[in-house]
């Protein structure tokens, strides 16, 4: 993974009234195009879990006046209550260490994509919208994009496949992209499987991973600490549905917006940043 210095993510930009007006529209448009936790039948507020999933640095991403909302704790999060055997504690992890980075740290707009592999809207965004956006803005040096898979809580099967993706990322960003493509393409297969970890292992073989290294990684929960950290950042920023796109210094873009709408949003962001730098 291409690591970046924490300050590239945690230094908030100034408030933009024009962006807030656009954001109000996007909340209405995007709300119908996002997976949510839903009612798990359990009360929110597991103090021990919440403390363990707190990641240092998330609050610094918030723009002035932004107040994150709280959400319910879904049943899929129960699988994360086991302690990570290796790695730093979630509260010791910086935002820069999480996710997978695409683009240059010099990009004027910095965006964090929160997604759950089990979310149908995330699949639609990944397959239809993400590619053109990366070609037009990320590859062009206009947007620094951080992809952060986390566990929304609706699909317990997301836990093993997310850990599989983290083990793939350990062998290279291209492997992470390749296994992510397969997880979204065959989403219904592993979600319906009695042993999704076995399905994920098949995808690991298909993308060409070093399988002994992969199995050691997966079986030993080597990157469970990263999943804990991802959930901590999402919780700290008030993420309640997927996909959610957090623009550093601006706020949240909710839901899998159409490609043309997303282009309009990014063009607006770039225009406002350029105006402030004049």
Q: Tens digit of pLDDT for each residue in 140-171?
A: 999 999 999 999 988 999 999 999 999 999 99
User: pTM score, two decimals?
Assistant: 0.81
Strands (DSSP E) along 8-85, which ranges? 35-36
pLDDT band at 20 (very low <50, low <70, confident <90, very high): low
Between CA 269 and CA 109 the distance in angstroms is 7
CB 151 within 8 A of CB 162: yes
DSSP state of 63: P
Q: Is the pLDDT of residue 56 over 70?
A: no
Instruction: Tell me if residue 160 falls in helix, strand or coil.
Output: helix
Report the pLDDT averaged over residues 34-57: 44
Per-residue pLDDT at 143: 97
Between CA 158 and CA 164 the distance in angstroms is 10
Q: What is the mean pLDDT of the chain?
A: 81
Higher model confidence: residue 233 or residue 43? Answer: 233
Give the chain's end-to-end CA distance (angstroms, integer). 33
pLDDT band at 23 (very low <50, low <70, confident <90, very high): low
Instruction: Tell me if residue 142 falls in helix, strand or coil.
Output: coil
Cα 226–227–229 angle (5° rounding)?
60
Instruction: Tell me if residue 225 falls in helix, strand or coil.
Output: helix
Question: Domains in the chain, please, with CATH?
Answer: 46-277 (3.40.30.10)
């Amino acid at each position: 993974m291409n690591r970046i210095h924490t300050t590239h993510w945690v230094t908030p930009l100034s408030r933009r009234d024009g962006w807030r007006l656009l954001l109000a529209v996007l909340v209405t448009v995007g709300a119908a195009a996002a997976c949510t936790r839903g009612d798990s039948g359990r009360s929110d507020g597991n103090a021990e879990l919440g403390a363990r999933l707190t990641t240092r640095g998330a609050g610094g991403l918030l723009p002035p006046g932004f107040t994150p909302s709280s959400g319910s704790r879904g049943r899929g999060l129960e699988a994360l209550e086991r302690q990570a055997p290796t790695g730093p504690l979630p509260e010791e992890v910086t935002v820069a260490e999480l996710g997978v980075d695409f683009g240059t740290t010099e990009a004027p707009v910095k965006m964090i994509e929160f997604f759950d592999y089990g979310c149908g809207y995330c699949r639609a965004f990944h397959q239809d919208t993400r590619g053109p956006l990366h070609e037009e803005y990320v590859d062009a040096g206009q947007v620094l994009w951080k992809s952060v898979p986390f566990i929304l809580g609706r699909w317990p099967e997301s836990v093993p496949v997310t850990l599989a993706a983290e083990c793939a990322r350990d062998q290279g960003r291209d492997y992470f992209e390749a296994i992510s493509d397969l997880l979204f393409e065959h989403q219904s297969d592993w979600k319906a499987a009695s042993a999704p970890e076995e399905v994920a292992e098949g995808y690991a073989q298909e993308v060409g991973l070093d399988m002994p290294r992969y199995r050691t990684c997966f079986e030993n929960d080597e990157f469970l600490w990263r999943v804990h950290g991802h959930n901590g950042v999402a919780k700290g920023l008030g993420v309640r549905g997927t996909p959610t796109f957090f623009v550093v210094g601006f706020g949240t873009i909710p839901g899998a917006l159409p490609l043309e709408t997303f282009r309009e949003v990014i063009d607006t962001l770039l225009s406002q940043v350029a105006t402030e730098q004049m």
